[in-house]
A = this chain, B = another copy of it.
Amino acid sequence: MTAPISVREIGADEFALVWPLFRSIVAAGDTYSYPPDLSFEQARDWWTTPPSQCFVAERGRLVLGCYMLKPNQPGLGDHVANAGYMVSPAARGQGVASAMCEHSMAQARDAGFTAMQFNFVVSTNTAAVRLWQRHGFRIVGQVPGAFRHVKHGPTDVYVMHRHL
């Protein structure tokens, strides 16, 4: 029987756990706008320095994915959360992204956020777009050519949103 997926918050001191996954996703250049050669220190700081919070999804001690949760704006826009998710290529199709999305929405609600917004969903990442739609997000914006996809070149980016 397969152990369940558990999700927990980690601090900067444990960011090394998710770094191999993080690095491989960013290096692929097909879903995140981070520089493909992003350093460990920069990634760790972006994902773990408050108000950003970093979470890891694990099965036992096996890292399946990670996500980051933060306010999308400061001040008068800080009721809207923002999140970014990464799933290990070896763990695709196991519901890891769904588990993290549900976890992030619960965390966001608990923290008082009333909505969640993704600013940069690469339009060719159709599996992600459909997954977020199944979780209640809708496309509220489309920015032409905002992502330089490593394979497809200039690629549209969606803004997605849902109330919590």
**Count of chain copies:** 2
Interface residues in A63-78 (C-beta closer than 8 Å to B): 72-78
Which A residues fall within an 8 A CB radius of B? 26, 29, 32-36, 38, 72-80, 114-115, 117, 119-120, 140-150, 157, 159, 161, 163
Set of chain B residues within 8 Å of A147, measured between Cβ atoms:
76-77
Say yes or no: A36-B75 contact (C-beta < 8 A), given A80-B146, A115-B146. Answer: yes
B36, B74, B140, B148: the one within 8 Å of A77 (CB): B148
B79, B114, B119: the one within 8 Å of A119 (CB): B119
Nearest 8 CB-CB pairs, A to B?
A141-B141, A33-B77, A35-B75, A33-B73, A76-B148, A141-B159, A33-B76, A34-B75
